[in-house]
Structure 1
């Protein structure tokens, strides 16, 4: 097996095939495909994001939104309460002579509560804006219209029934029940702890009773919002876990993606073979122009070219081991290129010099002696002719 085969084997073999034992293993994840055992690649995550598939916890958005509203109530509640009390008082002070038409009823009935309506509107809009920001932060400001594309499968009643009675629907129902139980327990605890205060309001003035009720109501929403936040944080991490499971890939999908990005290993192997053959062919074309071939004698062969008018030092034009070395020697003999056996020097040149480079300075003396010997023989041959 040559180096190309080894590299190819590493590329393909790095992605193990799914085994029957893994496929047969019981998967304990709620919504994951048992065949999808590999983490999503960055490319898969990017594609999912482009399709609008991102981890989003609605419970987290609603939990933080409710906590935000509770905080606003805590700081602005008394102002809103005073506005409601003033409006109620003003309503009771309206006389029958002031209301003659339905328009008068609307004016005198709603005008005292204008300040309260404005406070509630600002509260609602602030909560909506806050929830929007939380949602955008969860999706990292993703905006796409792809999820809104028409999908006829969504209109299929059979598909709708499957969704209604699916494992996910049962899980969402169970989650809603758990949330209701937690919030209900917290609300019950608050109301039970303030029961005596609430009962006193029957004998209190309007303002004192309203303040007692408002105090209880504020405590109720603060504690319920904290309970919801705890539930929503758990749901947030679960939604991320569920998202990771949903975008997992099978080993075959990872292999296919790898082929798309890196190219088909078989095609790449063929390309490398062609490139190596081309490089080998070019190298062999340089051998006839060499000044000398230094051998090991059969395991290594290095062809050197030296032209005093062009080359500063001898240049390596071809090298090889085993079969390539034998081919270099064969071409050298066919073209009457001198062949010198010097195992140590042949190995030194092979390991220290790249094709097209001049030999290292430390080898100058040894190569110069060989070239001097070769040039002397060449001169003697020419003189005999």
Structure 2
């Protein structure tokens, strides 16, 4: 069932899927890179720190072993003093080694992924102690890959160590007849050769493991087409819901626009297909403003509002259609319509102006 689910995931992960995985602490990590960093740190320690550290530690141990009477040991305080001296010298010897190991380990992690604090990774997870999940990890694809890497490392280390020891066979026989003081340096040189050879042999494995970690991580994040659709709906919203919201917004906008028709000065109609409600007050605007416009049903609603509020409705098919296509609501009419609209407004104002009474 799991294999069929994985086969159905044919689409590359989206940016949101990758971002969620990183936020949850699911990042590609190469274990071989950390092991290689430890071996490289050990090589640096052997080359630069071991000799100086041993030279600093040797006088203290030599004095302790050569002249034990010089260190009184009569009570617990004397024993504590001896342990303090030896402990401080050992601390001075070990602290650079620990710093180098920690620095190389942190570099191996930081160079693979940016640091991040993910509390979810330290929360208890039953799948980590589940025998079924453990069985799947051991005998799944990742388990076989780890088994192959282990075999490669075992074979590489065996060949490298055998080659180095065989090449140092003559020196080992010579050590039987040399000064014992030179033995530590010879052993250190052989150890350095072994560690260096192991590092060189594992570089290829580290490169392959880094590439595999990235590939396996992307493969595990693959999505089905349905998951991509669901994510798109979740991010953008359900198309049906969005269409419904847009429809409601349009309805509310139309209602407000139709209500604004009651403030119009005149309505230009065509006669039922188009209706443009204009408002002109000299103290408000220098030119007429469109307060409402519509066609068909909305045009009839605008005319109905105009009739209720005793607003003049003038039928001019060409002008109504031209205004409908050229002007938006709450905008001043273009300059090319100034003259025909001004003539209509002048006609209405002259018609509504009171006539002087005849004087007898």
What TM-score do you get using the length of structure 2 for normalisation? 0.75
Shift of 1:176: 1.7
* Higher deviation after alignment, 114-123 or 267-276: 114-123
Matched, 1:236 2:186: no
Given candidates 170, 178, 195, the residue that maps to 1:204 is 178
Shift of 1:181: 2.8
Matched, 1:64 2:47: no
Matched, 1:337 2:278: no
CA distance in 1, matches of 2:150, 2:338: 85
Distance 1:361-1:197 versus aligned 2 partners, 3 A rule:
farther
Report if aligned partners of 1:84, 1:113 keep a CA contact under 8 Å in 2: no
CA distance in 1, matches of 2:173, 2:320: 106
Shift of 1:172: 0.9
Describe the SS at the equivalent of 2:291. strand
CA distance in 2, matches of 1:64, 1:276: 64
Mark the runs of 5 or more structure 2 residues left unpaired by the alignment: none
Q: Encode CA deviations 1:17-72: one digit per residue, 9 max, x unaligned.
A: xxxxxxxxx99xxx955325241333x44443443322222221221232122123
Matched, 1:270 2:247: no
Shift of 1:280: 1.0
CA distance in 2, matches of 1:359, 1:67: 79
CA distance in 2, matches of 1:293, 1:277: 21
Report if aligned partners of 1:64, 1:229 keep a CA contact under 8 Å in 2: no
For 2:27, the equivalent position in structure 1 comes to 54
Equivalence map 1:7-26=2 (5 Å): none
Mark the runs of 5 or more structure 1 residues left unpaired by the alignment: 1-25
For 1:178, the equivalent position in structure 2 comes to 152
Shift of 1:118: 5.0
CA distance in 2, matches of 1:351, 1:202: 107
For 2:125, the equivalent position in structure 1 comes to 151
CA distance in 1, matches of 2:160, 2:306: 95
Report if aligned partners of 1:332, 1:339 keep a CA contact under 8 Å in 2: no
Describe the SS at the equivalent of 2:8. coil
Shift of 1:289: 4.0
Q: Encode CA deviations 1:240-288: one digit per residue, 9 max, x unaligned.
A: 2322222333333333333334333322222211111111122222335
Describe the SS at the equivalent of 1:304. strand
* Aligned residues between the structures: 348
Describe the SS at the equivalent of 1:319. strand
CA distance in 2, matches of 1:56, 1:364: 73
CA distance in 2, matches of 1:94, 1:240: 60
Distance 1:61-1:347 versus aligned 2 partners, 3 A rule:
farther
CA distance in 2, matches of 1:331, 1:93: 116
